[in-house]
Structure 1
Amino acid sequence: MSEDAQVVLGSLSELVAPVDEKIAVKKDPNLPYVGLEHIGQRNSQLLGWAPSETSVSVNSVFEAGDVLFGKLRPNLRKCVSAPFSGYCSTDILVLRVRNGNNPGFAARVFQTEAVGAEAERTSMGTKMPRTSWKGLSQFKVPIPEPKHQSKIAEVLDTLDAAIRGTEAVVAKLRAMKQGLLHDLLTRGIDANGDLRPPHPEAPRLYHQTPLGWLPKEWDVTKLGDAAESVVDGPFGSNLKTEHYVSQPGVRVVRLQNIQDGYFDDTEKAFIRESHAARLIRNQVVSGDLLIASLGDDGHPVGRACLYPEELDAGINKADCFRFRGRAVCRNAYAMLFLNGHSARRQARGYEQGVTMKRINLGNLRRIKVALPPIPEQIAIEERATAIEASYSASLRELDKLRLQKSGLMDDLLTGRVPVTPLL
């Protein structure tokens, strides 16, 4: 590191000072209130705020630019730079820069993993641990000169703006994807490659079915009747955790691999080939449809994905169903339908259990499926695949930006990489 970019270590108390001003009555109704619930985990922006009258207890007073650092359960890493003046929970430390330091830089320092870890280390209490300014104040951090601080804050603010913009694109594409899937599964695609007009606009194109108004060319059948085969996993004792081996082996498809429209290959399990040979009934191959029989609020019962082309044949475990469609039903189309609103609503009607919801094979087979002609199924798949590709690309871009920000924060705030070339 060059001489002009050297960074000295200083205590947090040299960077900021605590603000102890409190208020209980006669709060300004025009000022907002910020509670811990308004600060996201590892999020540099406020999630929201509330009117000052919503808090009837004693509040801390803060000004725009102050650092708001959550001292309750510091493992949640709640810290933002205040974008306005107002009141906040007393479970939030209000910290104000001193000695000419940059407010944006100070907030970034308190968002680092190093400060978060120190806050955890100095916490008191078991169920609801709290850190304190006394515990944090002497922790050493790199403190560059103010002009370097300003540039570091500017660089990270620019990245944050790019992240927020990409998050907005992701949210828009997610909504578009959900809306398009609903239209594809209820209106379909006509001979010209366009979505049919909705039923109210062109009732002549639709007929009444057990699933509501659907295009006249479509049939409705039970999932079991559309299947060449649909099987569950082996009986419990035939495939247990103790049967797993390290690679090489035959892949085991488990519940956590089946996500909403995609196969999550993060967690892998294998069994010996000799054992897999005894479970041939439960074999899955490229293109097979995998359906989850268990779920919770975040992972719906009946969610479905295709077994990836790049994986060798595997074995599906208990709580995982394998579906192979007849000539009238393509596996990829069945996946889209099972992940759609109509199938989800039907699956909820068959669910059993409280914490973990379950659907059995018999009830899964009873789910009614809307079946377009095969050429239209293919067209629906292609349209859904196109928007999924755009959505996935935006997610990858978001992940890249977040990783870039994490790396830059670590490099710039530790002084490992000088900010001088950016000035």
Structure 2
Amino acid sequence: MCEDWESVQLGELVERSFSGPSPTCEERNIQSEHEWGVLKTTSVTWSGWNEMAHKVLPENHWDQGELEVKAGDIIVTKAGPRHRVGVVAYVDKTIPQLIVSGKMIGLRVKSDICLPDVLAGLLSTRAPQKHLDHRTTGMAESQVNFANSALLQTSIRIPPKEEQEVISSIGRHLDTQIQKTEALISKLEKVKEGLLNDLLTRGIDEKGQLRPSPEQAPELYKESPLGLIPKEWQYGQLKDFGQLISGQHIPGELSNRDGRGVPYFTGPADFYSGETVISSYTEFPQAMCSMGDLLVTVKGSGCGKTAIASTDACISRQLMAFVFTEAEKGFWRAFFSLHENMINKIAEGGAIPGISRQQLLHIPVACPKAEHEFIAISKTIAEHERRRSSEARQLKKLTKQKSGLMDDLLTGRVRVTPLLDQAQATTPA
């Protein structure tokens, strides 16, 4: 199969390869036309290239044009945890004055022989990845590396140039669809933040519409310690509107992962996309939440993160559970989502900051009095979330389709020669 594909070493396909320094840097992006930056390994992912994952270089490392990344280059990670070594990204565009670090290799491709985006895809297939994995060494799996020569000696089977052109065109078309979907999801996320702010400060009137702003209709609002709130709303503290359940410590030896006992939520590690996943169990349950309760992280670096309990479960002292009526749940979930940063900031402590029960209970809030307004707000949020979730599913589907199709094309399991034959047949003599 694919007798017309040529087998060569990677080194024969590149004009030059280059690795840079890894100095101590400020943890910020470059901010002027004079500064230079060095790429982090997180700029190179299987999801694509991210030029903003960089940090500013010390001035004595500026002006290293021979290490600067250009559009059309390929970058391969060569040092780090094993699962992050050998990751390949094609640089379709980039800001100027970014250089590769010592943990990666930049490749400038002989594009007259092989198209860079196609070569990046070929390097991502199983055989080249297996070659690199076998030549990756280290004292521990958390810190391994391979030599530049190991990469350049990788055997690559490349299709004829005209076939590369078609594969590249297909890849660009799929990338365009993925980028459009990503842009729409990003837009929906920004819209959601504004929507939540409007719903939690203006609410929904008896006609089912977002109330006009205080500037547009001041007569619809009243003064409160939080500022202007709708006249139909009430002001108080969180303790006035729901019940709080504090989690309790269970020693590690009293929990298990084999299903013995009741589900046990240990912390934000059990949160996934706003819901909970069960990873632990205990036969010695103490503080219990119920399915549907709102869980909030109150210890650790991620205080304020929330999720809805997927089942009745025991909760650790990293968590607290809020119990609201079913009609109110969507409102309060939105409240915590919008104020996550505020809650995180009031956390106190050193290496393991935390929020006390009293701190949470005394957070000032304004909310509707009428159940029908709680329901209307929850419904509006849910409709927006369904749209975002639908686009997220579409993005996952497109990404999976691209991965499968490109792997078929780049390994020769599916040939594009019928497309080439059809194009040649329709080209005027």
Q: Place the TM-score, normalised by the shorter chain, in its bin.
A: 0.7 to 0.9
Deviations 1:333-383 (Å, cap 9, x if unpaired)? Answer: 222212223x752x2453112444311212111112212022111111110
User: Are 1:234 and 2:237 an aligned pair?
Assistant: no
Which residue of the partner structure matches residue 306 of structure 1?
308
Pair 78,188 (structure 1): closer, same or farther in 2 beyond 3 Å = same
Pair 196,86 (structure 1): closer, same or farther in 2 beyond 3 Å = closer
Q: CA deviation at 1:270?
A: 2.0
Aligned counterpart for 1:361 among listed residues 352, 357, 381:
357
User: Are 1:102 and 2:115 an aligned pair?
Assistant: yes
Which residue of the partner structure matches residue 396 of structure 2?
399
Q: Map residues 54-203 of structure 1 onto 2, 5 A cutoff.
A: 56-60=62-66, 66-70=72-76, 73=79, 75=84, 77=87, 79-81=89-91, 83=93, 89=99, 91=101, 92-97=105-110, 100-112=113-125, 115=128, 118=131, 133-203=148-218
Give the 3-state SS of the residue equivalent to 2:90 in structure 1.
Answer: strand
Of structures 1 and 2, the one with the larger relative CO (CA 8 A, separation 6+) is 1
Q: CA deviation at 1:186?
A: 0.3
Point out the more displaced range, 92-101 or 206-215: 92-101
Which residue of the partner structure matches residue 47 of structure 1?
51
Pair 5,159 (structure 1): closer, same or farther in 2 beyond 3 Å = farther
Give the 3-state SS of the residue equivalent to 2:66 in structure 1.
Answer: strand
Q: CA deviation at 1:250?
A: 2.0
Aligned counterpart for 1:256 among listed residues 259, 268, 271:
268
- The aligned amino acid for 1:41 is T
Aligned CA RMSD, in angstroms, stands at: 3.9
User: Are 1:243 and 2:255 an aligned pair?
Assistant: yes
TM-score normalised by length of structure 2: 0.77
Percent of paired sites with the same residue? 26
Which residue of the partner structure matches residue 386 of structure 1?
383
Is contact 2:276-2:308 (8 Å) kept?
no
Pair 140,242 (structure 1): closer, same or farther in 2 beyond 3 Å = farther
Is contact 1:257-1:263 (8 Å) kept?
no
Q: CA deviation at 1:69?
A: 2.2
Counting matched residue pairs gives 394
Give the 3-state SS of the residue equivalent to 1:351 in structure 2.
Answer: coil
Deviations 1:267-324 (Å, cap 9, x if unpaired)? Answer: 522234xx44xx3xx232232222221242xx4x23333223xx4x322222221222
Pair 19,344 (structure 1): closer, same or farther in 2 beyond 3 Å = closer
Pair 118,264 (structure 1): closer, same or farther in 2 beyond 3 Å = farther
Is contact 1:65-1:96 (8 Å) kept?
no
Q: Which runs of 4+ in 1 moved over 6 A?
A: 61-65, 84-87, 123-130
Which residue of the partner structure matches residue 9 of structure 2?
11
- The aligned amino acid for 1:42 is W
TM-score normalised by length of structure 1: 0.78
- The aligned amino acid for 1:212 is G
Q: Map residues 338-349 of structure 1 onto 2, 5 A cutoff.
A: 338-341=336-339, 344-345=341-342, 347-348=343-344
Aligned counterpart for 2:39 among listed residues 26, 30, 36:
36
Matches of 1:410 and 1:4, distance apart in 2? 14
